[in-house]
Amino acid sequence: MNDLFEVKQTDIGCYYNYIKDFLPDKIIDIHTHVYLKDNLIQGDKADKRLASWPELVAEDNSFEDILETYELMFPGKTVIPLMFPFPIKIKNINVSNQYILDCIGEQKYYGLILADPEWDADVFERKIRMGDFKGAKVYLNFAPAYIPLNEICIFDFLPHHQLSILNKYGMIVMLHIPRDNRLKDPVNLAQIIEIERRYPAVKLIIAHVGRAYCKEDVGNAFEILAETKNVLFDFCANTNQWVFEQLIKAVGPKRILFGSDLPITRMRMKRICENGIYVNVISKGMYGDVSNDKNMREIEGDEADRLTFFLYEEILAFRLAAIETKLSNDDIKDVFYNNAMQLLKR
């Protein structure tokens, strides 16, 4: 029995009935956070406005833990991660990034640097070239503090001088888009198109399908994005089958990548949408006091006992979307392995 997290009969049934044969034997996880709690700000110094339940899913995620998670969740499969730090509540960004380099080891695994938009072009280039980083992870909390949350735009934390360096080396950038309107936000869409046009060698990955967790987050985004040529999408921490179908129809299976967003997707839950807002349905008491969180709801009894991992829910939804859009086995292999390998081997 492992002590990382419990694997229940429900999970085992889910894996062997629906997931195992759907997945190829070799998988690349293009989106995973690896970090140690020693380098996180704890307790009072942490931002009280942030939700506390993510820490109850996992207080950190070491390299050993991610490998063990793959063994527990995907028995019989080989899973290779692209790793980067968790971008929130970090004490020292250099320590976080060095840990990624330590984990990459003998190039058996892959990593991204967590980039600070304050780094000028020379500093950014030196840091990203100091190890075998495949590119950068950027995050909106690094935007200047005076910008209100919903006014942050992509270039506030992914500045042009850093995009130029990423373009020079044809590197990856992992982008969690900002703003309450998510994927359909016209500023986001315009800036995604601008990145593709001005930095054609950059491998831009839009994380979580642009945070389109409900139908209402999509708008006309896929009509606009269908005209892009290079932009890629990962579908981690997203469980919306309908959104996945629209994505597949818009960009095809060559620009879609599997990611786990571990460790958060160790959470037991299922996600529903109500009036355009996503709600994570969880077992009562499992993740602390969530009474003030509009995105969380507690249930009890049989239904609660049947909840499985967020990561399984993500894959189950993608599987149904793949069936609905008639993806072939080769297409599935592309999404879970080949597309990512194309990016990483360059």
Residues that bind Zn ion (CB under 5 A): 261
CB of 269 to Zn ion, least distance (A): 16
CB of 223 vs Zn ion, minimal distance in Å: 26
Tokens 């600070």: give the residue: 116
Minimum CB distance to Zn ion, residue 31 (Å): 6
Closer residue to Zn ion in complex, CB, 261/334: 261
Q: How many CB atoms lie within 10 A of CB 243?
A: 26
Interatomic CA distance for residues 194 and 24, integer angstroms: 35
> Smallest gap, in angstroms, from Cβ of residue 32 to Zn ion?
8
Tell me whether residue 138 or residue 192 sits nearer to Zn ion (CB atom).
138
Structure tokens at 23: 């997945």
CB of 178 to Zn ion, least distance (A): 14
Q: Which is nearer to Zn ion, 264 or 335 (CB)?
A: 264
Compute the least distance from the CB of residue 40 to Zn ion, in Å: 15
Nearer to Zn ion, 116 or 261 (CB): 261
DSSP state of 75: T
Which residue number, 127 or 176, has a Cβ lying nearer to Zn ion? 176
Alpha helix (H) residue ranges in the chain: 9-14, 53-57, 63-73, 93-104, 121-128, 154-157, 160-169, 186-198, 208-211, 221-225, 241-251, 302-305, 310-324, 329-333, 339-345
d(CA 255, CA 242): 17
Give the C-alpha separation, 262 to 255, whole Å: 21
Query: Tokens 């070239």 correspond to what residue?
Result: 129
Half-sphere exposure for 199 (CA within 13 Å, toward CB) = 25
Query: Of 245 and 261, which has the nearer Cβ to Zn ion?
Result: 261
Q: How far is the CB of 84 from Zn ion (least distance, A)?
A: 8
Query: Are 129 and 158 spatial neighbours (Cβ–Cβ below 8 Å)?
Result: no
Q: How far is the CB of 264 from Zn ion (least distance, A)?
A: 7
Q: What one-character DSSP code corresponds to residue 227?
A: T
Radius of gyration of the CA atoms of the chain, in A: 19
Query: Residue number with the shortest CB distance to Zn ion?
Result: 261
Which residue lies nearer to Zn ion by CB, 70 or 331? Answer: 70
Dihedral of CA atoms 335, 337, 340, 345 in degrees, nearest 10, equals: -150
H or E element that contains 222: helix 221-225
Between 11 and 261, whose beta carbon lies closer to Zn ion? 261
Q: How many CB atoms lie within 10 A of CB 245?
A: 18
Question: Please, which residues bridge with residue 281 across strands?
Answer: 270, 297
For the CB of residue 261, give the shortest distance to Zn ion in the complex, in Å. 4
- Which residue lies nearer to Zn ion by CB, 217 or 261? 261
Tokens describing residue 346 = 């360059």
Question: 206: exposed, middle or buried (C-beta count within 10 Å: 0-12, 13-18, 19+)?
Answer: buried
E strand residue ranges, 207-339: 232-234, 256-257, 270-274, 277-283, 296-299
